[in-house]
Chain A
């Protein structure tokens, strides 16, 4: 379903029980969705119903509950596949989170790398898309390289042809930055990478929850994202890879559910996705993620993106009225998501976050697991406000009022 064309944030908010609560005597203003999103009742109900009515282990039972549970788990896989435009459900691997999906690829694909091979990331990555590659390079002798950022917080593509070359084996970059909000230009990177025979992986953790993401249209090879930022529960993430790429990857975690035949001398492995889902998977979490996908699909991702674009435009304007405030990342709402990191002159982000909390406004402070980005902009930490489908312009106003209060306390 493409949505009804009439997006009402007030109606959406009624679906999120937590938005009724107050914090420190003020109505909750939740502006930390880039950290984790809130969950609609539909997700909570789907998970409760599964546990109350259908709970059993998957893929190994002949009994009724086992069959129902397996159907629910595989049904969630099909929903996720359709949501991102995958060619088949078998291209979707459930993991614990996006971090595990990225590690899976760094480990499995990385087994074939050696000295002389190059991996390309960027300066704006989350630590989860930096550290696995650093460890891989230490193990294999491969070389890690990265895109630099422009002062506006965009990828500097002027070095693209040199950076991505015949030695490059994989390019792994964020689709949307978790600190700067930048929506990275995927097309030129994919074009160049494929010219030289390299794979492209996107960290879609901040994209899939907010934008229509179609892996086929993007032309990418692999995509990692997480459930809990897209209205689903924690404990479940996704690795999507084109079938030909996924079939070629050796196993990562080993154990039950991923083997064909085991003897004490050796083992043969199941085809994907089972090959990459050792052990009992996050079953009820998958069911919750499936419900989240249904919820977002019913709203329509175009409508979600339009709502967030409106909020981003509004927030950029509103924040520009605060004295001493400097935005990190693009200051125009073009190729930019609703994640707004900033500094308030003379006030440490910890203090900004604490005073905002005292008036019910929940923001993230710190380096956001993206220390190289902070270093690029010369600050140890940032304050970050981020929006989602349930965010309102009133909440942006509350943020701005809160920031004025911060300035008063520290004047």
Chain B
């Protein structure tokens, strides 16, 4: 039995589209906090900035260099969290994390994750899970910093 190749499972059209035509790419002002994350095994890196106002993720901007999975994940991150209530964004973060740690056994919640469901196939490739999570972990980190700053300021 010959499989039709990994591209069917891993490189979904949605992922390749986000990679070739990224949404919301580029670092923008203003922002409250940023986080720079690196995948030391491959040298991929991403910087994510967040601007949270009145419990709303007003903007999330990013820049980086890396494989299609990490870059598409950043584009999907932007689509899923910008303009959303922070609680909503964190719920999506949680759902994406659960999907990626599910080794392909987790049924993705399409309502929460929208284009993010295309990453279900990535969860089956342990070496690539880190790529998909890179911008999401940077987002979480940047948000935590932004919240900490807000707490000190108020």
Contacts and interface: CB of A to CB of B under 8 A. Distances in A.
B7 A350 contact: no
Contact of B44 (A347, A374, A380, A409): A380
B3 A366 contact: no
Interface in B113-135: 125, 128, 131
B66 interface: yes
Given A355-B6, A355-B7, A358-B5, A381 B68 contact: no
Q: Which 8 A-B pairs give the minimum distances between C-beta atoms?
A: A358-B6, A350-B67, A380-B43, A348-B67, A25-B2, A358-B5, A366-B42, A25-B3
A366 B2 contact: no
A24 B43 contact: no
A25 B65 CA distance: 32
10 contacts: A350-B44, A354-B11, A355-B5, A365-B42, A371-B43, A374-B43, A380-B43, A380-B65, A380-B66, A410-B68
Given A25-B2, A355-B11, 10 more contacts: A25-B1, A25-B3, A350-B66, A350-B67, A354-B6, A355-B6, A355-B7, A366-B43, A409-B11, A410-B68
B16 interface: yes
A49 interface: no
Interface in B1-15: 1-3, 5-7, 10-11
A117 interface: no
Interface string B1-43: 1110111001100001000000000000000000000000111
A268 B68 CA distance: 58
Nearest to B131: A350
Majority DSSP secondary structure for residues of B touching A:
loop
B89 interface: no
Most central of B45, B68, B131 by chain A CB within 10 Å: B68
B142 interface: no
A348 B68 contact: yes
A268 to B, nearest CB: 43
Contacts of A351: 11, 67-69
Interface string A365-382: 111000100100000110
Given A366-B41, A409-B7, A26 B2 contact: yes
Interface string B57-87: 0000000011111000000000000000000
Contact of B43 (A25, A381, A409, A410): A381
A142 interface: no
Nearest to A350: B67
A381 B42 contact: yes
Interface size class of B (residues with CB under 8 A): 20 to 34
B93 to A, nearest CB: 23
Interface residues of A, number: 23
A348 B3 contact: no
Interface of A: 24-26, 347-351, 354-355, 357-359, 365-367, 371, 374, 380-381, 405, 409-410
A350 B5 contact: no
Contacts of A409: 7, 11, 16
A351 B43 CA distance: 14
Nearest to A352: B67
Nearest to B6: A358
Contacts of A26: 2
Contact of A24 (B3, B45, B67): B3
Contacts of A371: 43
Contacts of B6: 24, 354-355, 357-358
Contacts of B1: 25
Contacts of A350: 42, 44, 66-69, 128, 131
A365 B42 CA distance: 7
A354 B10 contact: yes
Interface in B97-147: 125, 128, 131
A100 B43 CA distance: 25
Contacts of B125: 354
Nearest to B125: A354
A349 B1 CA distance: 28
B121 to A, nearest CB: 11
Contacts of B11: 351, 354-355, 409
A354 B69 CA distance: 11
A235 to B, nearest CB: 22
Contacts of A24: 3, 5-6
Contacts of A348: 44, 66-68
A133 to B, nearest CB: 20
Contacts of A354: 6, 10-11, 125, 128
A349 B3 CA distance: 22
Contacts of B131: 350
A348 B71 CA distance: 10
A350 B2 CA distance: 23
A358 B96 CA distance: 25
Contacts of B5: 24, 355, 358-359, 405
A53 B79 CA distance: 63
A358 B69 CA distance: 16
Which of A349, A355, A367, A381 is packed against the most chain B CB atoms within 10 Å? A381
